[in-house]
Structure 1
Amino acid sequence: MNETNQHAFSPEERAAVYRAIAERRDMRHFCGGEVAPELLARLLQAAHAAPSVGLMQPWRFIRIADRDLRAQIGALVEAERVRTAEALGERGEEFMRLKVEGIGDCAELLVAALMDGREAHVFGRRTLPEMDLASLACAIQNLWLAARAEGLGMGWVSLFDPQALAELLGMPAGSKPVALLCLGPVREFYPAPMLELEGWTEPRPLAELIYRDRWGERE
């Protein structure tokens, strides 16, 4: 092995990493079941291993174990789903036919949130205060990829009023819920992103999104 590759994983290990990335899906269809406590702990540890600016680790995860509380969260999502459909205008009816969450039938529901007191972390945030959100997104992606490797589906739900959800969960001022994460067994993984399969939109090719030296200039 030459010097530039001495830290690389084995071909089999690399293939597994790239497979998890390629087959990760934003899942909406779950089949109940459960996630063993030790497996959930592994997944959350993977999330906690994410990079964070200034090592601030701004993520907080709330496991929703109470079924009544889960139902209340589902009601918040449904209310926002209706408002989103109204905002979409002529595509509203088409949107309402989409399945946009699996809160009622996933095995585990997690709330991923930003902590309060983030203003104290200046390192890396003075010019880019959004880096706390970027750090949380990295943790969510770690969790997503680990879940796929473990054979579990995960879906990121963002249709909710953050203030209403924060109040429902008794979150302190300055903290903010960012994602509802539906996690659990699925019968199958989508062969492509669900919104592509449903004809809602199409992903853009990578070549259109890479520039060289100046914005808009391509190879």
Structure 2
Amino acid sequence: MGPPAFDDAFIQTLDTLFAWRRDVRRFRPDAVDPDHLRACLAAAHRAPSVGNSRPWRFVRVSDPARRAAVAQDFSRCNAAAATVYDAARAARYRTLKLAGLNEAPEHLAVFCDDSTETGLGLGRASMPETLAYSVVGAVQCFWLAARARGLGVGWVSILEPACVTEILAVPATWRLVAYLCVGHPVEEHLDPELERHGWQVEDPRGAALIER
């Protein structure tokens, strides 16, 4: 059997999926279907990785005390982050909702296992950072699979990685790459929230192809 053929209708649907992949911060309390969560994790495991190392480690955070500790770390880091701006921008910053830690039914911490021997180091001798980049690819696969199933994902980056590593009691060789909130969105928007709330405008440079 040969590879599948992806027709124009599929390609258009795929483009729509990419367009509607949003960073979600507002979640309904409804539980996530366990089958959907497993399917999204399976999609993540099909991500490309340097040397086929598959260094991602997904940790489901269900313990209320651990969740509360992560939320407390976010609050501390978020307060510190506002201080780098001038007064007007800091005031705007404090109005933004930058995480759904208190509402999301599912929390997933995603680590890069820097000690993995899978792949025997192939492809990363000169660019060791590709190990963590591989984890980012897995996060993106998870995110798209979740969006296709009506789930929202929010990537919480305003955290101290060492604190999260300690809170979750994972090996010291695991490096935090992403902390994800997962659940059903309260609202749906095609435009990014930070643009919608006036924090920034779209930068066209990211869509430019530079010729050399």
Q: Provide TM-score, normalisation by structure 1.
A: 0.89
Tell me which moved more, 44-53 or 89-98: 89-98
> Of the candidates 12, 16, 21, which is equivalent to residue 18 of structure 2?
21
Supply the AA of the counterpart residue of 2:131: D
Preserved contact between residue 116 and residue 173 of structure 1 (Cα < 8 Å): no
**1:66-85 alignment to 2 at 5 Å?**
66-85=63-82
SS in 2 for 1:182: strand
> In the TM superposition, what is the alpha-carbon distance from 1:87 to its structure 2 partner?
2.0
**1:102 alignment partner in structure 2:** 100
Preserved contact between residue 114 and residue 131 of structure 2 (Cα < 8 Å): no
Preserved contact between residue 47 and residue 143 of structure 1 (Cα < 8 Å): yes
**2:122 alignment partner in structure 1:** 123
| Number of aligned residues | 208
Deviations 1:58-108 (A, max 9, x none): 100000111221111111111100010112233222111100000110121
Question: How far apart, CA to CA, are the structure 2 residues paired with 1:82 and 1:45?
Answer: 36
Tell me which moved more, 89-98 or 30-39: 89-98
**2:53 alignment partner in structure 1:** 56
Question: How far apart, CA to CA, are the structure 1 residues paired with 2:117 and 2:159?
Answer: 24
Question: How far apart, CA to CA, are the structure 2 residues paired with 1:188 and 1:145?
Answer: 17
Could you tell me which runs of 5 or more consecutive residues in structure 2 were left unpaired when the two chains were aligned.
Answer: none
> In the TM superposition, what is the alpha-carbon distance from 1:7 to its structure 2 partner?
5.8
SS in 2 for 1:190: coil
Tell me which moved more, 187-196 or 51-60: 187-196
Q: Provide TM-score, normalisation by structure 2.
A: 0.92
**1:216 alignment partner in structure 2:** none
> Of the candidates 57, 60, 65, which is equivalent to residue 62 of structure 2?
65
Deviations 1:2-28 (A, max 9, x none): xxxx96402222122111101100011
Question: How far apart, CA to CA, are the structure 2 residues paired with 1:169 and 1:184?
Answer: 21
Deviations 1:149-198 (A, max 9, x none): 11111110101110111111112122111211011011322220000001
**1:142 alignment partner in structure 2:** 141
**1:23-38 alignment to 2 at 5 Å?**
23-38=20-35
**1:178-193 alignment to 2 at 5 Å?**
178-193=177-192
SS in 2 for 1:75: helix
Q: Which runs of 4+ in 1 moved over 6 A?
A: none
> Of the candidates 40, 45, 57, which is equivalent to residue 42 of structure 2?
45
**What CA RMSD, in Å, does the superposition of the two structures yield over aligned residues?**
1.8
Could you tell me which runs of 5 or more consecutive residues in structure 1 were left unpaired when the two chains were aligned.
Answer: 1-5, 214-219
